[in-house]
């Protein structure tokens, strides 16, 4: 069903650890994200065990940036992979020291670089030549020497949705290997910059080890090209991208990836760094929604629920298929339905052509494996309030984000006159 046994049926009811999902939905309303702390710990341990104590594991904050989730991961010893000044402020707010964070991002602005330099991030992952100039200027103005890892694009094709493949030839990410020599020369001749590593990120929701190996080999070949490409270089960051099951296909071969890449990095005297997002939190969350009604149009049966594309964009944006299950399974006969939300777009669906038991109005469903890129990509489109979020831990649970008020939706807007 889901990639974790932290969500499972006891009798007819779906539970998250020792909390019944129906009870959580009664207490907090729907749409509601429910996360399992134990699942996040399971995944953290799995990754740590696979890669060993020397690897630097930086959680990709964008996958789920709730402060409580960041604190949980911080307590386990995670580092953090950031892509914006906002994420940097977020991890600060979660009480994490910036020295545990690396700062990536395809278009860093000067204020973001200044903030990250002031707070002392562990490394800047440079994506484009103009960023080197910005970093250089900031280093000079602040009289600092900034640690820089160059993100290269190794030109490796991967099997995933086109929107989340990042290392094919024409990609906005990283510096092409053919141009990376110039970038390195520019970095190493700058007294304010220090080349400390290389970074690649091939894409997201990958299922194979081979592209990671190919990428490492291309970067190693590049490093062999000149002494200045190696001097002082301490780490190789293999990126994130480890896929989860989403109810079908094989699990990501994490142990195989870890043993292969650890050996490759060690053969070059490099420390491994990695930036998993989805793998750590994806299976740890479900989105709970309530059935509002049914209708038939043409040959399609629709189940209309109170969660929509603004709460979970992945089905609409990437044609992602998340398993959908009833929160209470009465064992009724199944029929194929489209599960859709109230948003005014034909692209607003959570699942299509899915076998589900007939659900009555007021019954609830859970959309599984939505812990990553669910809440963090939610919007207020159609002036809908984003879901509340709850973190279950053993027998207890805690709300970690309240549903916003309607007033908060327009709090920053400036109407011509005050009509309130």
Contact 79, 56 (CB under 8 A): yes
Q: Examine residue 277 and tell whether it contacts ligand LLP (CB under 6 A).
A: yes
Query: Minimum distance between the CB of residue 182 and ligand LLP, rounded to whole angstroms?
Result: 22
Q: Which of 58, 327, 344, 380 is catalytic?
A: 344
Nearest partner of 70 among 94, 52, 93, judged by Cα: 94
Question: Binding of ligand LLP at residue 242 (CB under 6 A)?
Answer: yes
> Which one of the spans 94-102, 198-206, 285-293, 384-392 is the region binding ligand LLP (CB under 6 A)?
198-206
Going along 200-321, which residue ranges are E strands? Answer: 235-237, 271-274, 285-297, 300-305
276-284, 344-352, 392-400, 411-419 -> range binding ligand LLP (CB under 6 A): 276-284
Strands 271-274 and 56-60: parallel
3-state secondary structure of 261: helix
The one segment of 134-142, 226-234, 272-280, 290-298 that binds ligand LLP by CB under 6 A: 272-280
Residue 359 DSSP label: -
Considering the rule CB under 6 A, would residue 69 count as an interface residue with ligand LLP?
no
User: Residue length, the chain?
Assistant: 420
Confirm or reject binding of residue 81 to ligand LLP (CB under 6 A): yes
Decide if residue 276 touches ligand LLP (CB under 6 A). Answer: yes
Closest CB to ligand LLP among residues 79, 276: 276
**In this chain, which of 41, 108, 278, 328 binds ligand LLP, going by CB under 6 A?**
278
Whether 344 is catalytic is: yes
Give the DSSP letter of residue 139: H
Question: Is residue 60 a contact point for ligand LLP (CB under 6 A)?
Answer: yes
Provide the mask over 333-372, with x wherever binding to ligand LLP is found by CB under 6 A and - wherever it is not: ---------------------------------------x
Find the binder of ligand LLP among 3, 31, 240, 371 (CB under 6 A): 240
Identify which range of 65-73, 197-205, 264-272, 386-394 contacts ligand LLP by CB under 6 A: 197-205
Listed residue (114, 119, 47, 128) closest to 90, CA to CA:
119
Smallest separation, CB 200 to ligand LLP (Å): 9
Choosing from 241, 285, 315, 326, the residue that interacts with ligand LLP (CB under 6 A) is: 241
Q: Are strands 334-340 and 349-357 parallel, antiparallel or unpaired?
A: antiparallel
User: Distance (Å, rounded) from C-alpha 374 to C-alpha 33?
Assistant: 8
Minimal distance in Å, beta carbon 178 to ligand LLP? Answer: 21
Phi, psi of 206 (to 5 degrees): -90, 160
Question: In angstroms, rounded to a whole number, what is the distance separating the alpha carbons of residues 267 and 280?
Answer: 28
Q: How far is the CB of 380 from ligand LLP (least distance, A)?
A: 18
Long-range CB contacts (within 8 A, 24+) of 183-191? 183/126, 183/129, 183/132, 183/150, 184/150, 184/226, 184/228, 184/229, 185/228, 186/129, 186/132, 187/126, 187/132, 187/148, 187/150, 188/228, 188/231, 190/132, 190/136, 190/139, 191/145
Q: Determine the size of the site formed for ligand LLP (CB under 6 A).
A: 21
Q: Does 275 bind ligand LLP (CB under 6 A)?
A: yes
Q: Which of 96, 98, 373, 387: binder of ligand LLP (CB under 6 A)?
A: 373
How many CB atoms are closer than 10 A to CB 382?
A: 14
Minimal distance in Å, beta carbon 137 to ligand LLP?
24
Which among 118, 143, 117, 119 has a CA at the least distance from the CA of 131? 117
104 binds ligand LLP (CB under 6 A): yes
Q: Token digits for 281?
A: 């939190």
Among 84, 204, 310, 370, binds ligand LLP (CB under 6 A): 204
H helix runs in 273-313, sequence order = 278-281
Nearer to ligand LLP, 24 or 209 (CB): 209
Residues lying near ligand LLP in the complex (CB under 6 A) are found at 60, 63, 81, 104, 164, 201, 204-205, 239-242, 275-279, 314, 318, 372-373
Please give the positions annotated as active site: 344
């Amino acid at each position: 069903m889901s990639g974790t046994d932290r969500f499972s049926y006891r009798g007819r009811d779906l539970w998250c650890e020792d909390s019944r999902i129906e009870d959580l939905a009664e207490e907090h309303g729907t749409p509601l994200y429910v996360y399992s702390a134990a699942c996040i710990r399971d995944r953290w341990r799995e990754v740590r065990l696979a890669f060993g104590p020397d690897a630097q594991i930086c959680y990709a904050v964008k996958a789920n940036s709730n402060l409580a989730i960041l604190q949980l991961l911080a307590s386990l010893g995670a580092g953090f992979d950031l892509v914006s000044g906002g994420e940097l402020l977020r991890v600060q707010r979660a009480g994490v020291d910036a020295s545990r964070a690396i700062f990536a991002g395809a278009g860093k602005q000067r204020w973001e670089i200044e903030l990250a330099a002031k707070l002392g991030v562990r490394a800047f992952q440079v994506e484009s030549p103009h960023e080197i100039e910005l970093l250089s200027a900031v280093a000079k103005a602040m009289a600092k020497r900034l640690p820089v890892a160059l993100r290269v694009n190794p030109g490796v094709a991967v099997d995933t949705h086109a929107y989340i493949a990042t290392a094919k030839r024409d990609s906005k990410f990283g510096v092409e290997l053919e141009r990376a020599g110039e970038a390195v020369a520019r970095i190493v001749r700058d007294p304010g910059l220090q080349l400390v590593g290389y970074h690649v990120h091939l894409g997201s929701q990958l299922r194979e080890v081979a592209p990671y190996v190919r990428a490492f080999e291309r970067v190693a070949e590049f490093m062999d090209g000149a002494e200045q490409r190696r001097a002082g270089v301490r780490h190789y960051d293999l990126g994130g991208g480890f896929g989860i099951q989403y109810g079908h296909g094989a699990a990501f071969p994490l142990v195989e990836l870890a043993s292969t890449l650890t050996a490759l990095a060690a053969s070059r005297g490099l420390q491994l760094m990695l930036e998993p997002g989805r793998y750590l939190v994806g299976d740890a969350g479900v989105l709970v929604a309530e059935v509002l009604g049914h209708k038939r149009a043409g040959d399609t049966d629709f189940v209309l629920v109170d969660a929509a594309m603004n709460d979970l964009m992945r089905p609409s944006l990437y044609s992602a298929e998340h398993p959908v299950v009833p929160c209470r399974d009465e064992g009724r006969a199944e029929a194929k339905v489209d599960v859709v939300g109230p948003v005014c777009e034909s692209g607003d669906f959570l699942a299509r052509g899915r076998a589900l038991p007939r659900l009555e109005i007021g019954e609830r469903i859970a959309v599984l494996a939505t812990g990553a890129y669910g809440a963090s990509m939610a919007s207020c489109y159609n002036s809908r309030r984003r879901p509340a979020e709850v973190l279950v831990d053993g027998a207890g649970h805690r709300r970690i984000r309240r549903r916003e008020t309607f007033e908060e939706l327009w709090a920053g807007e400036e109407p011509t006159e005050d009509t309130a």
